[in-house]
Protein backbone atom coordinates (compact mmCIF):
# COMPACT_ATOMS: atom_id res chain seq x y z
CA UNK A 1 0.00 0.00 0.00
CA UNK A 2 1.35 3.41 -0.93
CA UNK A 3 1.98 6.28 1.47
CA UNK A 4 -1.02 8.15 0.07
CA UNK A 5 -3.35 5.16 0.39
CA UNK A 6 -2.25 4.44 3.94
CA UNK A 7 -2.67 8.02 5.07
CA UNK A 8 -6.12 8.45 3.55
CA UNK A 9 -7.42 5.31 5.32
CA UNK A 10 -9.27 4.09 2.24
CA UNK A 11 -9.67 0.45 3.02
CA UNK A 12 -10.97 -1.30 6.14
CA UNK A 13 -11.74 1.86 8.14
CA UNK A 14 -14.39 2.82 5.59
CA UNK A 15 -16.24 -0.44 6.11
CA UNK A 16 -16.74 -0.39 9.88
CA UNK A 17 -20.42 0.56 10.04
CA UNK A 18 -23.62 0.30 8.09
CA UNK A 19 -24.41 2.72 5.26
CA UNK A 20 -26.16 5.67 6.96
CA UNK A 21 -29.37 7.60 6.47
CA UNK A 22 -28.29 9.37 3.28
CA UNK A 23 -29.87 6.55 1.23
CA UNK A 24 -33.24 8.10 2.11
CA UNK A 25 -32.30 11.60 0.92
CA UNK A 26 -31.54 11.07 -2.78
CA UNK A 27 -34.68 12.88 -3.85
CA UNK A 28 -33.71 15.70 -1.49
CA UNK A 29 -30.29 16.04 -3.11
CA UNK A 30 -32.09 16.72 -6.37
CA UNK A 31 -34.59 19.02 -4.65
CA UNK A 32 -31.90 21.07 -2.91
CA UNK A 33 -30.03 21.39 -6.17
CA UNK A 34 -33.10 22.58 -8.00
CA UNK A 35 -33.96 25.13 -5.32
CA UNK A 36 -30.46 26.59 -5.41
CA UNK A 37 -30.33 26.81 -9.19
CA UNK A 38 -27.76 24.08 -9.77
CA UNK A 39 -27.92 22.69 -13.29
CA UNK A 40 -29.42 19.28 -13.93
CA UNK A 41 -25.96 18.03 -14.90
CA UNK A 42 -24.49 19.15 -11.57
CA UNK A 43 -27.34 17.46 -9.73
CA UNK A 44 -26.66 14.28 -11.71
CA UNK A 45 -22.98 14.37 -10.79
CA UNK A 46 -23.86 14.69 -7.11
CA UNK A 47 -26.17 11.69 -7.33
CA UNK A 48 -23.62 9.68 -9.30
CA UNK A 49 -21.00 10.47 -6.70
CA UNK A 50 -23.32 9.39 -3.90
CA UNK A 51 -23.95 6.12 -5.75
CA UNK A 52 -20.19 5.58 -6.01
CA UNK A 53 -19.68 6.32 -2.31
CA UNK A 54 -22.36 3.78 -1.45
CA UNK A 55 -20.92 1.16 -3.79
CA UNK A 56 -17.42 1.49 -2.31
CA UNK A 57 -18.63 2.22 1.24
CA UNK A 58 -16.39 5.28 1.40
CA UNK A 59 -16.78 6.13 5.06
CA UNK A 60 -14.69 9.14 6.04
CA UNK A 61 -13.33 9.73 2.53
CA UNK A 62 -13.89 13.48 2.44
CA UNK A 63 -10.56 14.44 0.90
CA UNK A 64 -10.90 11.93 -1.94
CA UNK A 65 -14.60 12.56 -2.61
CA UNK A 66 -14.12 16.33 -2.64
CA UNK A 67 -11.13 16.10 -4.98
CA UNK A 68 -13.04 14.05 -7.55
CA UNK A 69 -16.08 16.33 -7.29
CA UNK A 70 -13.92 19.43 -7.75
CA UNK A 71 -12.53 18.13 -11.04
CA UNK A 72 -15.96 16.98 -12.26
CA UNK A 73 -17.50 20.38 -11.58
CA UNK A 74 -14.65 22.15 -13.34
CA UNK A 75 -15.06 19.86 -16.34
CA UNK A 76 -18.67 21.02 -16.61
CA UNK A 77 -17.64 24.66 -16.67
CA UNK A 78 -18.39 25.44 -13.02
CA UNK A 79 -16.01 27.46 -10.82
CA UNK A 80 -15.82 25.67 -7.46
CA UNK A 81 -13.38 26.20 -4.61
CA UNK A 82 -11.87 23.10 -3.03
CA UNK A 83 -11.56 23.70 0.70
CA UNK A 84 -9.86 21.93 3.56
CA UNK A 85 -10.08 22.91 7.19
CA UNK A 86 -11.85 22.22 10.44
CA UNK A 87 -15.57 21.69 10.95
CA UNK A 88 -17.82 21.22 13.95
CA UNK A 89 -20.83 18.90 14.18
CA UNK A 90 -21.03 17.41 17.67
CA UNK A 91 -17.23 17.15 17.50
CA UNK A 92 -14.44 19.16 15.85
CA UNK A 93 -12.85 17.38 12.88
CA UNK A 94 -10.62 18.03 9.88
CA UNK A 95 -12.57 17.92 6.63
CA UNK A 96 -12.71 18.78 2.93
CA UNK A 97 -15.65 20.33 1.09
CA UNK A 98 -16.63 22.33 -2.00
CA UNK A 99 -17.86 25.91 -2.19
CA UNK A 100 -19.87 26.59 -5.34
CA UNK A 101 -21.62 29.91 -5.95
CA UNK A 102 -20.82 30.85 -2.37
CA UNK A 103 -22.54 27.80 -0.85
CA UNK A 104 -21.32 24.53 0.64
CA UNK A 105 -21.48 21.23 -1.22
CA UNK A 106 -20.39 18.34 0.98
CA UNK A 107 -21.30 14.84 -0.11
CA UNK A 108 -18.77 13.01 2.07
CA UNK A 109 -20.25 14.20 5.35
CA UNK A 110 -23.20 11.85 4.74
CA UNK A 111 -20.78 8.97 5.46
CA UNK A 112 -18.64 10.31 8.31
CA UNK A 113 -15.76 8.60 10.07
CA UNK A 114 -17.29 9.46 13.43
CA UNK A 115 -20.72 7.99 14.15
CA UNK A 116 -21.75 10.94 16.33
CA UNK A 117 -21.78 13.21 13.24
CA UNK A 118 -25.39 13.07 12.08
CA UNK A 119 -26.22 14.77 8.81
CA UNK A 120 -27.15 14.05 5.25
CA UNK A 121 -25.20 15.28 2.27
CA UNK A 122 -25.01 19.06 2.19
CA UNK A 123 -26.12 20.69 -1.08
CA UNK A 124 -26.06 24.49 -1.33
CA UNK A 125 -25.89 24.79 2.49
CA UNK A 126 -28.87 22.43 2.92
CA UNK A 127 -28.66 19.26 5.00
CA UNK A 128 -30.55 16.98 2.64
CA UNK A 129 -31.54 14.55 5.40
CA UNK A 130 -33.87 17.16 6.89
CA UNK A 131 -34.00 19.83 4.13
CA UNK A 132 -32.89 22.57 6.50
CA UNK A 133 -29.77 24.72 6.66
CA UNK A 134 -26.85 22.57 7.75
CA UNK A 135 -25.88 22.74 11.43
CA UNK A 136 -22.30 21.83 10.56
CA UNK A 137 -19.97 24.80 11.07
CA UNK A 138 -17.37 24.98 8.30
CA UNK A 139 -13.99 26.70 8.55
CA UNK A 140 -13.86 26.91 12.34
CA UNK A 141 -10.68 26.53 14.37
CA UNK A 142 -9.55 25.18 17.73
CA UNK A 143 -6.30 27.08 17.43
CA UNK A 144 -4.20 23.96 16.86
CA UNK A 145 -4.37 23.84 13.07
CA UNK A 146 -4.83 20.78 10.87
CA UNK A 147 -3.74 17.32 11.94
CA UNK A 148 -0.98 15.35 10.23
CA UNK A 149 -3.11 13.81 7.47
CA UNK A 150 -4.95 16.98 6.53
CA UNK A 151 -1.75 19.00 6.65
CA UNK A 152 -0.04 16.49 4.37
CA UNK A 153 -2.88 16.79 1.87
CA UNK A 154 -2.39 20.56 1.71
CA UNK A 155 1.25 20.00 0.80
CA UNK A 156 1.12 17.11 -1.66
CA UNK A 157 0.63 17.97 -5.31
CA UNK A 158 -3.05 17.75 -6.26
CA UNK A 159 -2.44 15.51 -9.28
CA UNK A 160 -0.31 13.14 -7.19
CA UNK A 161 -3.13 12.83 -4.69
CA UNK A 162 -5.58 12.15 -7.53
CA UNK A 163 -3.29 9.42 -8.88
CA UNK A 164 -3.13 7.42 -5.65
CA UNK A 165 -6.74 6.52 -4.93
CA UNK A 166 -6.72 2.72 -4.40
CA UNK A 167 -10.14 1.71 -5.74
CA UNK A 168 -9.62 2.64 -9.40
CA UNK A 169 -6.75 1.79 -11.80
CA UNK A 170 -6.69 5.45 -12.84
CA UNK A 171 -7.02 6.76 -9.29
CA UNK A 172 -9.54 9.51 -8.64
CA UNK A 173 -9.42 10.39 -12.34
CA UNK A 174 -11.34 7.16 -12.84
CA UNK A 175 -13.98 8.31 -10.35
CA UNK A 176 -14.35 11.58 -12.26
CA UNK A 177 -14.93 9.64 -15.46
CA UNK A 178 -17.61 7.52 -13.75
CA UNK A 179 -19.58 10.39 -12.27
CA UNK A 180 -19.52 12.78 -15.23
CA UNK A 181 -22.44 12.58 -17.67
CA UNK A 182 -21.42 10.92 -20.93
CA UNK A 183 -21.66 14.15 -22.91
CA UNK A 184 -18.54 15.47 -21.16
CA UNK A 185 -15.45 13.82 -22.68
CA UNK A 186 -12.70 13.25 -20.14
CA UNK A 187 -9.06 12.33 -20.67
CA UNK A 188 -6.83 11.58 -17.70
CA UNK A 189 -3.58 12.80 -19.24
CA UNK A 190 -5.10 16.06 -20.42
CA UNK A 191 -6.65 16.55 -16.99
CA UNK A 192 -3.34 16.00 -15.21
CA UNK A 193 -1.89 18.93 -17.13
CA UNK A 194 -5.00 21.06 -16.62
CA UNK A 195 -5.08 20.57 -12.85
CA UNK A 196 -1.34 20.51 -12.17
CA UNK A 197 -1.40 23.79 -10.24
CA UNK A 198 -4.57 23.36 -8.20
CA UNK A 199 -4.24 24.61 -4.63
CA UNK A 200 -6.68 23.71 -1.88
CA UNK A 201 -8.14 26.65 0.02
CA UNK A 202 -7.18 26.28 3.68
CA UNK A 203 -10.08 27.32 5.95
CA UNK A 204 -9.10 27.47 9.62
> Which sequence spans correspond to the domains of the chain?
3-203
Q: What is the pLDDT of residue 147?
A: 86
Q: What is the pLDDT of residue 145?
A: 82
pLDDT tens column, 33-47: 999 999 999 999 999
- DSSP notation for the chain: --HHHHHTT-SGGGGSS---GGGGGHHHHHHHHHHTT--HHHHHHHHHHHHHHHHHT-TT-HHHHHHHHHHHHHHTT---EEEEEEEEESEEEEEEEEEETTEEEESGGGS-SSTT-----EETTEETTTTEE--PEEEE--SS---HHHHHHHHS-HHHHHHT-TTSTTTHHHHHHHHS-TTS---HHHHHHHTTT--PEEE-
pLDDT tens column, 146-183: 888 899 999 999 999 999 999 999 999 999 999 999 99
pTM: 0.88
Amino acid sequence: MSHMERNDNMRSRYKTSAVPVYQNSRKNIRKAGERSGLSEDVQTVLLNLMDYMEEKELKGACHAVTSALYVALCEMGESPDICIGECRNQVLFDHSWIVLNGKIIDMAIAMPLFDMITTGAVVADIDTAVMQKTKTAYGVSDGNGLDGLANMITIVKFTEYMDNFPYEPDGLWGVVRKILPDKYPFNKETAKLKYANVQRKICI
